[in-house]
Structure formats: structure tokens, C-alpha cells
Amino acid sequence: MTRLSPLSSREISRRLLKLGFVLARKRGSHAMWQHSDGRCTVLPVHKGEDIGRGLLRSIHREINISWEEFHKL
């Protein structure tokens, strides 16, 4: 398994778009992304800050995708 490395919210957003997620709504600094099959996740959007390993792990569980597949995008 590849070690999780922090990513920017912009990079995660790009990868979510490639996976078929759409931005459902945004309120303040949090964006909710939804997929047509019902999967959804909330992504904090803070300019200049990376999303840490713990939150990345949580996002992977919510979107039900392996880290290797997400990392290839």
C-alpha cells in the first residue's frame, strides 16, 4: 500500500471530477461533492493548506475507492 501524502483541496477536487463527482453545494469553506450513485463527501477548501492524512483516509472511505486507484488519477 502506498503511504498517504497530504494533497491540496484543489488536487482532490480535480480527482473527484474525474471520478464522476459533481459539486453539490458549497457553504463557507466546505464543499459537498456527490456522485450519481449516492456516494458523497465533504471537502474543506482552505487556500494554501493541504488536506492531512487522517482526513484523506476518511474521504477515501466515504467515496469507496482504493488509495492506489485514487493516486493513479
Instruction: Delimit the domains of the chain by residue range.
Output: 7-72
* 7-72 under CATH 3.30.420.40, yes or no: no
**CA distances (Å), 13 to each of 1, 41, in order?**
22, 11
pTM across the whole model: 0.88
- Report pLDDT digits (tens) over 7-32: 999 999 999 999 999 999 999 999 99
Residue with cell string 501524502 = 5
Confidence band, pLDDT 50/70/90 cuts, at residue 68: confident
